[in-house]
Every structure is written in structure tokens, then in C-alpha cells.
Amino acid sequence: MTSDPLVARMRPFGTTIFTEMSALAARTGAVNLGQGFPDTDGPEEMLAAAAEALAGGANQYPPLAGIPVLRSAIAAHEQRFWGLTRDPDGEVAVTAGATEAVAAAILALCEPGDEVVCFEPYYDSYAASIALAGAVRRPVTLRPGPARRFEFDPDELRKAFGPRTRLVLLNSPHNPTGKVFIPAELKLIADLCREHDVFAVTDEVYEHLVFPDAAAPHVPLATLPGMLERTLRISSAGKTFSCTGWKIGWATGPARLVSAILRVKQFLTFVNGAPLQPAVAVALNLPDSYFTGFTAGLRDRRDRLVDGLTDAGLAVLPSEGTYFVTADIRPLGGEDGIEFCRALPGRSGVVAVPTQVFYDHQEAGRHLIRFAFCKRPEVIDEAVRRLKG
């Protein structure tokens, strides 16, 4: 009994780079632009509604699928922004963040050995959830193209599909690259899903964070022809309402897919965040001005950081959306992002994250690092001042 008790399929997943880099930030007093969490609170109406619900007795198990007022608000939000009509009773499930929705979707839909097509670099929970299900990931690599936007090779995507493909896991707007998938890319993904008769699971937690200079606005994959019936759309309050610690997410889609998720979710967490659920309903029902103001605020911070990184000598790739911007370290003589990020707090007092940890084919991202700009303007300005020094 002295050997590692951890199951083999989880052994490749050690401590995440965020834990290492955040500890480094704490130890060195560096400005932490590594992990993507905001340093300000979300809308006041939402915070007040949570306090009221907590004091008002909303502290016991809510229904498995989420409280009705939140499910209605999720459906109304999807109708308002994306023209998607959902039945709050059956086509909407509230989850413990987008992370649980992604995990439950993969566990509910994939038999051991089934394949999941995804794009690398990928959000770190995807590989672990696929491994937990005993499924196999088939990553397609995103690389900066002629216009320096991240792109994939259409043939590589076609070849990733095969007889064992069960689903495509698509994150757009995309973390960590800041890429927004454009209509031609979405069309190819949708065509392949229909041709191979597979499901799509879409992680759209940055649905409200596409900047006006993006190559295209955000389009949910579910709105493409023939996709509604085979797509689970996932989002979360964390990023849109600056409450990443609340872990209130949701999945919407056809009733057969939503009920499959709920079957698994029932035995993962069952439910979470009773007093937070009515508060997120209030937030989802905020007027359009909240959402446009939120995007504009983040755009200003992106611009501050991009200008500063460029002045500091990094080659900055376009960030079309999300909380993140990617930079190439080679103009500063860097080769390996992990080494560069380990040295950066001591050298410049700033923490960033090496993008290569989000790839299977790490070589493709070896020279790339990611900065988060979801921080107060003065924090970004301080980071920039240090980087220039």
C-alpha cells in the first residue's frame, strides 16, 4: 500500500500551473496577471439580492435543475441575446459552475474509449474530465496565422473525426488565446458534427466578452443549421458578473441532453449555491446597458495591457475577446514560456502563465505566455510600469 493510491487515469494531472504561479506571486509580491479572476465585485443589484436571499431563508437544497426563477432568467437571457428559445422546464439545468456542466456532459455522453474532439490550447479542466470518463481527447492545434489570429488547419479538423468520435467540445470566445471562432470555422465544425452524427458541447462563458475589433461577433454553435438538436450550450455567471467564486453555471439544450446531464449531476454535487441562484437571476435580467458597459470596461483594460506589453518589447497577439491576451516571448530572447514565467516575478515583479501547459503538442505553444486583464486599471498600469523597468 505504499504506491500512489491515485487512479492511473488521474496521475498525469498534477498541481496546476495556477497554484504554482499564484504561490510565486504571493511569495515575491508580484502583480498576479496569471489567474483569470476579477479584482472587483459584480453588479450591486446582484450582491444585494444574494444578501437578501441569505437572510430570507433560501438556505436549503434547491431543486436539482435549479430554482424556477433562475431557469426562467437563463431562458430569457438566451432569447434576448442569441434568439434561442428554451423551455425553462426541461431544457435548462443549473450547475456548479461551467466546470461541472462540462464534466457532467462528458461523463453523461461518453463511453470509455469514445473520442472528444477539442481545440488546443484548451481550458485545463477539459483534459481531466475527458480522462475521468475514460474517453480520449483528439486535440486540433490552434496556431497564429498570417493575420496573427489563431487558426486551425481544416484538414486537421476533418482528420480528427472518426468512427469513435462522440462529441466536439468547443470554447468560443476562447481561453487562453482570446480567439473568437468566425462563421466559416463554425460552419465547418457544424458540417462535421452533422456528417458524423456527433454532439457538440459549447463552453461560452465569455459570451459577453467580444470586443468591437474582433474578426466576427460571437455566434453560438447551436444557432447553426441542424445544430440545435445536438448541442449543449454551457455558460456561467462567474465571468459575466465578476463572481467567479459563486460557481453558478448552466447548460441549455434539447431535453434529452439536459436530462442526461442531470442524471450525472445528481450524484456529483446534486445542487449548489441556494441563495446565489436568485441573485444570478437578477443579474441575467439586467438591462442591455450592463452588458455593453461590462464589455467596454474590459476593452479599456485590454488596450492598457496590450499597449504596455508592446512597449515592453513583447509581440502581442490579437485578443478579440475573453479576459486574456497572449504574447510571444521570442522578441525578448525567450524560448521557453515555463522558464520565462518562473523568472518573470523575480525579474519584473509580474506573474503570467505559460500557454504550453494547455497543449498536448506543447511545442506549438512553447514561446507563448498568457496575461489576464480582468483587473483594476491601476493594477494593470502598475504591472506595465514594472514590465517596462
Ligand X SMILES: *Cc1c(COP(=O)(O)O)cnc(C)c1O
Closest approach of Cβ 388 to ligand X, in Å? 28
d(CA 202, CA 220): 8
Looking at the Cβ atoms of 239 and 386, the one nearer to ligand X is 239
Backbone angles phi, psi at 266, to 5 degrees: -50, -35
* Residue 2 CB, nearest approach to ligand X (Å): 35
Smaller CB separation from ligand X, 181 or 312 = 181
Residue with smaller CB distance to ligand X, 169 or 312: 169
Strands 115-120 and 136-141 turn out to be parallel
In the complex, least distance from residue 207 CB atom to ligand X, rounded to whole angstroms: 11
Question: 3-class SS at 109?
Answer: helix
The residue among 175 and 356 lying less far from ligand X, judged by its C-beta, is 175
Give 90: exposed, middle or buried? Use CB within 10 Å, 0-12, 13-18, 19+.
middle
Cβ 45 vs Cβ 286: under 8 Å: yes
Sign of CA dihedral 48, 54, 56, 61: positive
For residues 123 and 211, which CB has a smaller minimum distance to ligand X in the complex? 123
367: phi then psi, degrees, rounded to nearest 5: -100, 15
DSSP-derived 3-state class of residue 372: strand
Bond from prior residue into 121 cis (ω within 30 degrees of 0): yes
Residue 198: DSSP 8-state? -
Please identify, using beta-carbon distances, which residue of 28 and 295 lies nearer to ligand X: 295
C-alpha distance from residue 335 to each of 159, 236, 348, 356, 374 (Å) = 30, 36, 17, 12, 27
Instruction: Tell me how far, at minimum, the Cβ of 367 lies from ligand X, in Å.
Output: 22
Q: Shortest approach of ligand X to residue 96 CB, angstroms?
A: 7
Q: Interface residues with ligand X (CB under 6 A)?
A: 97-99, 123, 171, 175, 203, 205, 236, 238-239, 244, 247, 249
Q: How far is the CB of 175 from ligand X (least distance, A)?
A: 4
Q: How far is the CB of 349 from ligand X (least distance, A)?
A: 25
Q: How far is the CB of 123 from ligand X (least distance, A)?
A: 4
Closer CB to ligand X, 233 or 247, in the complex: 247
Kindly give, in sequence order, each residue whose CB lies less than 8 Å from that of residue 369, ignoring residues fewer than 6 positions away.
Answer: 326, 327, 329, 337, 340, 341, 352, 353, 354, 355
Q: Which residues contact 338 (CB under 8 A, 6 or more apart)?
A: 354, 356, 357
Question: In the complex with ligand X, which residue's Cβ is closer, 5 or 245?
Answer: 245
